Chains A and B, each alone.
Chain A
Amino acid sequence: MTATLAHSATKAIVEPAVRLTGVHKSFGRGARSVAALAGVDLAVAPGEFVCLLGASGCGKTTLLNLVAGLDTVTSGEVVRNTSRPAVMFQEAALMPWLTATRNVELALRLAGVRRADRRQRTEELLDLVRLTGVGDKRPHELSGGMRQRVALARALACTATGDDTAGLPSLMLMDEPFSALDAITRDVLQAELLRVWEATGTAVLFVTHDVREAVRLGQRVVLLSSRPGRVVREWRLGDRSSVAESATVDEINGRLREVITSHAA
């Protein structure tokens, strides 16, 4: 519980890394338009790990795209007080013609890191995700879990670089990055992500539809309703005992089921 207290103390002074205020997003125009998000308010503190949870169609991915700057809001405001956010997708989306090392280097290069520093940074990042020694392999020569770790290293490459953004908190946006992996690999990668998060102190906004994953990873779990998406409830996870966690999982599951059932009518 001490962790939570310390956290709320910092939150009072420090500006949030990301703040969404009354964000609306609809696709299409006129009578045919579909509202994906209707009035979402959310703030992520620097270094905080927030999981966005919701059934399909709740606009989780839309929300992430808005924060990443891949899309623009219909109304409302997204304020980002961070360096360029790192984004991870459900697929690793590595460049298939580049080796693991070159994939990470490409991110550094596009971020404007000098050639001399690139090599060393890349090595550090691959070490961080425990991929020492496979840098010269191409994506098709790696397993799914390894590919996703290369993607994690690549994502981290753009958080922790860039001279103009020095001093700003970093942010990672993750769009169900482990959902295409088998259970054991997912379990290992979740642990890896927590380790990397603790090592780097970056803020994370993690989208998932898996309640257990959200509870395991997040300091805060935010449940979104579906069509249109808005924040239903959020849980702050302080007590890390397995009993408390499974109680929270049950509670969130119940609430999620209610949200989904309401669409059946």
Chain B
Amino acid sequence: MPPEGSQQIDGAPVAVADYGAVGAGLDALERPTQPRTRADRLRTITRSVLPPLVAIVLVIAVWQALWAAAFWPEFQLPAPKAVGAELWRDITSGAVFGQLWVSVHRAVFGFLIGLVIATPLGLLLAKVRIVRAAIGPLLSGLQSLPSVAWVPAAILWFGITPGAIYFVVLLGSVPSIANGLVSGIDQIPPILPRVGKVLGAGRFAGARHIILPAALPGYVAGLKQGWAFSWRSLMAAELIANSPQLGQGLGQYLENGRSLSDMPTVMAAIVLILFVGIGIDLLVFRPLERRVLHSRGLTGSA
């Protein structure tokens, strides 16, 4: 039934076999090259590790200089060495590990609950127009409301209990994660769901095989922000909801430093809070984000 191969016609410049060869040549020429070598990788590491180290050293140097100039009294600006000694004392006594555990396990647990609540909420918001119209603006608004504002209400509702702390953490993390998922879904090129439809994907299969993986970059960005908000909210809650029954987390440690006017303790607590925030971001969310973006050919920050 097909016509006698149009390639075999008299005068046609290219024969069948040649099309294969031309095609192979084009493939070889047009494939994006991947110039990444080991030397490159080494260079990226030095480029990404060295600058922040230099920055930290500079900050400490300026701090030391300001302290040496004695503009402020010692109880306002302690020496870097005094803060270092306080940190070292906490580490050697083992107290720091207890505090880290109390705070980090609360933040992680709160974040995970937030994840479980926010993911279906985000899907609903993105896919059901009326839900979005009803609570979309509210959720975006909640994102800009500092979650510390919820601490007084949480204490009145739940008392000084872990429940109050988790409540504040959830109000910090849920809006970020849900909004991240919504924007991830909004940014899916419309052609991909259409492809799903012509391939015969139903609503459920379409969500599982196309919508969710396609929305992953936005979702991961939301998770990252959700973690940051969880951690912040937790510190705010621990700082205010302070009671012996709650155990001593980093927030309480910081508050103790303030009540004793012990500036080295205050500074040491801030260093530890930063350390956890940055550490989890670098260990968990950066690699996750990089993997997601890299596999899609969207190279984000190197």
Contacts and interface: CB of A to CB of B under 8 A. Distances in A.
Contacts, number: 133
A194 B20 CA distance: 13
B205 interface: yes
Interface string A68-109: 101000000000000011110101010111000000001101
B2 A158 contact: no
Given A144-B30, A184-B22, A110 B201 contact: yes
A107 B199 contact: yes
Given A110-B209, A198-B2, A93 B191 contact: yes
B27 A146 contact: yes
A253 interface: no
Given A3-B3, A95-B210, A158-B199, A141 B10 contact: no
A216 interface: yes
A240 interface: yes
Contacts of A6: 1
Contacts of B34: 141
Interface stretch (B11-19, B61-69, B280-288): B11-19
Given A107-B199, A192-B23, A242-B9, A197 B2 contact: yes
* Residue of B9, B11, B16, B210 with most chain A CB atoms under a 10 A cut-off: B9
A92 B18 CA distance: 24
Contact of B22 (A93, A96, A188, A242): A188
Given A111-B199, A241-B9, A145 B296 contact: no
Contact of A130 (B23, B30, B32, B209): B23
B199 A70 contact: no
A97 to B, nearest CB: 5
B213 A97 contact: yes
B194 interface: yes
A128 to B, nearest CB: 12
Contacts of B16: 191, 195
Given A3-B1, A140-B32, A241-B9, 7 more contacts: A3-B4, A10-B1, A95-B214, A140-B297, A143-B32, A146-B31, A188-B22
18 contacts: A93-B194, A96-B297, A110-B196, A130-B20, A140-B32, A141-B34, A142-B31, A143-B31, A143-B32, A158-B198, A184-B26, A185-B26, A185-B30, A189-B23, A195-B5, A195-B16, A195-B19, A242-B11
